Amino acid sequence: MEVDGEARPFLVFSKPKSNRRAEPQAQVQAQPKPARPDPAPAPAAETDSSSGSDSDSEPTPTENGEPCQADAAAPASFADLGLSEWLVDVCSSLGMRRPTDVQRRCIPRALAGENVLGIAETGSGKTAAFALPILHRLGEDPFGVAALVVTPTRELAAQLAEQFRALGSPLGLRCLAAIGGFDSLAQAKGLSRRPHVVVATPGRIATLINNDPDLAKVFARTKFLVLDEADRVIDSNFEEDLKVIFDCLPKKRQTFLFSATMSENLRSLLELSGDNSYFFEAYEGFKTVETLKQKYIHIPPDGKELHLMYLLSKMKEDNIRSAIVFVSTCRTCQYLDFLLEELGRSAVSLHSHKAQSRRLSALHRFKSGQVPVLIATDVASRGLDIQTVDLVINYDIPRFPRDYIHRVGRTARATRGGLSISFVTQRDICLLHEVEDDVGKRFDAYECDDKEVTKDITKVFKARRLANMRMADEGHEDKVQDRKDQKKRDQARKRKHEE
């Protein structure tokens, strides 16, 4: 992470070999496990995700630990941080009166010209921690393209672009979102007009540059590179795309890396970094926020749909404004969408088998409060900032604790409260224990009224049959199979290439 020769350290990283922590973490207090049913042997992923081909998540290793103390001497207002007056005013008009911890610690270092690696919990204001210093510099010397922000998912890129536009409105900030699923010609044209800030997913920006090498020139003076959700960007299959991106950026620039979770590759990157880098870690590696209540329900075989309907039926009574239901596979996501429709419950779904316009429209309907339930794969697990989300349900407990942290971080944002409930079947118990070990907490059981859970059993089982029929009739089963076949072909090609 040195200012000169940025690209090199990223490119020497090898892929993580396992999804477990590299070394035991001494900081987390061992806690006795409460009495639980014994785990079933070999807790493979739920049916569809075992091949990985229908899953939208990306596994990587993680670390664990205790929070560090806040720095009492740190400046207490945005003005104290050295930001221009117009930015202090914008923050105030957006309800941001005092900087959060990650902002207090990172903004002055970013303004001083340092590279910054910031690890802080979900919903703690990381976006402003990197956006405000960029906008401050743009206010002094507005030119395009001053900053390239790379983030792993399209929805997150769209959200970041919106946040940049809101914070940069007094500047008349021009911000382009270069994301897959939309007209690439229009995006290439937009890029050639040199917007101040480009927010992109790695694949789309690399494709735009590869298709028209002249476009690389728009980044010739770029001063800032941001990797948001940096552990995911670095650890996922984006290596080729990152090479293209680094090749067209000037060596002399600042790099900001932000995430809620740390990975081995990010840690190696830190170790490789020179003196001119600042590292802020609100805690070592892995943490959920204090204001989040975390529960689980032990689900009998065949009971997931019934328990889901039970929880959704209690939303009003429990003052839950909106809920996200996370599943492991695109198939389950679409299936639950049909199931809830059959049962007359208003919901939208978000997964990568859907066209991008339908993905964004689903998210818009959920964000605007038209629909209170979003069913989603891990494409929605990172970064999305929706203040009304009071409940996260892990319909399928994630296979990797890092995904758990990001999923439950969709609620209890910016010091608000929130509840997460994880469904745990007999074969998921090991996964639950892994998550508990990693977040350093034991979760309580969520008390269900069994009579209420089973009250609509006939209706739910009928809807289940109909939803499964629709999956086949409307071609979703074929889509799932096509994806699996494609994945197998890609893996075979990759193996051949490596040989």
Residue with tokens 């590279």: 115
CB 287 within 8 A of CB 121: yes
**Closest distance between ligand AMP and the C-beta of residue 408, in Å?**
14
**Closest distance between ligand AMP and the C-beta of residue 84, in Å?**
16
In what helix (H) or strand (E) does residue 325 lie, and over which residues does it extend? strand 322-326
- Restricted to residues 374-433, the positions that interact with ligand AMP (CB under 6 A) are 385, 413-414
The closest of 258, 283, 279 to 114, measured between CA atoms, is 279
**Closest distance between ligand AMP and the C-beta of residue 387, in Å?**
6
Q: If binding is defined by CB under 6 A, does position 126 make contact with ligand AMP? A: yes
Residue closer to ligand AMP (CB basis): 55 or 261: 261
**Closest distance between ligand AMP and the C-beta of residue 131, in Å?**
8
User: Total binding residues for ligand AMP by CB under 6 A?
Assistant: 15
Peptide bond into 460 cis (omega under 30): no
CB 432 within 8 A of CB 294: no
Rounded Cα gap, residues 390 and 373, in angstroms: 11
- The answer for residues whose C-beta is within 8 angstroms of residue 407's C-beta and 6 or more apart is 324, 326, 378, 381, 392, 394, 398, 420
- Restricted to residues 199-238, the positions that interact with ligand AMP (CB under 6 A) are none
DSSP designation for 271: H
Residue closer to ligand AMP (CB basis): 96 or 198: 96
- The answer for residues whose C-beta is within 8 angstroms of residue 124's C-beta and 6 or more apart is 100, 101, 102, 260, 282, 289, 414
Rounded Cα gap, residues 207 and 35, in angstroms: 52
CB 255 within 8 A of CB 400: no
The closest of 197, 45, 74 to 131, measured between CA atoms, is 197
**Closest distance between ligand AMP and the C-beta of residue 103, in Å?**
6
CB 281 within 8 A of CB 116: no
**Closest distance between ligand AMP and the C-beta of residue 98, in Å?**
6
Q: If binding is defined by CB under 6 A, does position 128 make contact with ligand AMP? A: yes
**Closest distance between ligand AMP and the C-beta of residue 161, in Å?**
14
Residue closer to ligand AMP (CB basis): 259 or 334: 259
Decide: helix, strand or coil at residue 461.
helix
**Closest distance between ligand AMP and the C-beta of residue 96, in Å?**
4
Q: If binding is defined by CB under 6 A, does position 174 make contact with ligand AMP? A: no
Q: How far is CA 221 from CA 216, 246, 355, in A?
A: 11, 13, 35
Q: If binding is defined by CB under 6 A, does position 125 make contact with ligand AMP? A: yes
Q: Which amino acid is at 136?
A: H
Stretch that binds ligand AMP, among 17-25, 126-134, 231-239, 437-445 (CB under 6 A): 126-134
Q: If binding is defined by CB under 6 A, does position 155 make contact with ligand AMP? A: no
CB 315 within 8 A of CB 371: no
Stretch that binds ligand AMP, among 125-133, 137-145, 274-282, 450-458 (CB under 6 A): 125-133
Stretch that binds ligand AMP, among 93-101, 143-151, 184-192, 213-221 (CB under 6 A): 93-101
**Closest distance between ligand AMP and the C-beta of residue 135, in Å?**
14
Residue closer to ligand AMP (CB basis): 162 or 239: 162
Residue closer to ligand AMP (CB basis): 96 or 374: 96
- Restricted to residues 95-124, the positions that interact with ligand AMP (CB under 6 A) are 95-96, 98-100, 103, 123-124
Give contact residues for ligand AMP (rule: CB under 6 A). 95-96, 98-100, 103, 123-128, 385, 413-414
